[in-house]
Copies of this chain bind each other. A is one copy, B any other.
Amino acid sequence: MPLVRIDSTGTPPELLDRLGLAVHEALVEAIGIPADDHFQVLTGGASRVVADTGYLGIRRDSGAVMIQVVLRGGRTVEQKKAFYAAVAEKAAAIGVEPRNILITLIENDLADWSFGDGIAQYVQ
């Protein structure tokens, strides 16, 4: 179910695909999403990505990656923390710096999803 949106600039298509897969695997491992529930919009050529969070003591290079995940409410803080940590680990493994990865979650409800055929699959 989660809808993942990744925005970055100047990311080659192959790396973008691998990054999408890393985020998907992190959702499967940390939040228990089914392995074949893979649902993403990937953008490698946003006009501009700004990521200055200097007030937190985090300095980045120019390769900031914004990851936004929409998912139904109900996951615990511990699950969310495990997800962030898993994304960082898997991103590092494919050469994307964990300090460059920013993640935002947005929660909604079961009735807020239709996966095709005009049906609300979770509230039939």
Contact = CB atoms under 8 A, between A and B. Distances in A.
Interface of A: 3, 7, 13, 16-17, 20, 34-56, 58, 60, 66, 68, 70, 77, 80-81, 84-89, 98-109, 111-121, 123
Given A39-B50, A48-B13, A68-B70, A113 B104 contact: yes
B115 A58 contact: yes
Contact of A118 (B16, B51, B77, B84): B84
Between A88, A105, A116, the greatest number of chain B beta carbons within 10 A of the residue's beta carbon is seen for A116
Contacts of A16: 47-48
A42 B48 contact: yes
Q: How many copies of the polypeptide does the oligomer hold?
A: 3
A85 B118 contact: yes
A47 B45 contact: yes
A34 B55 CA distance: 7
A90 to B, nearest CB: 10
A79 B17 CA distance: 36
B54 A36 contact: yes
Contacts of A114: 84, 87, 101-103
A83 to B, nearest CB: 8
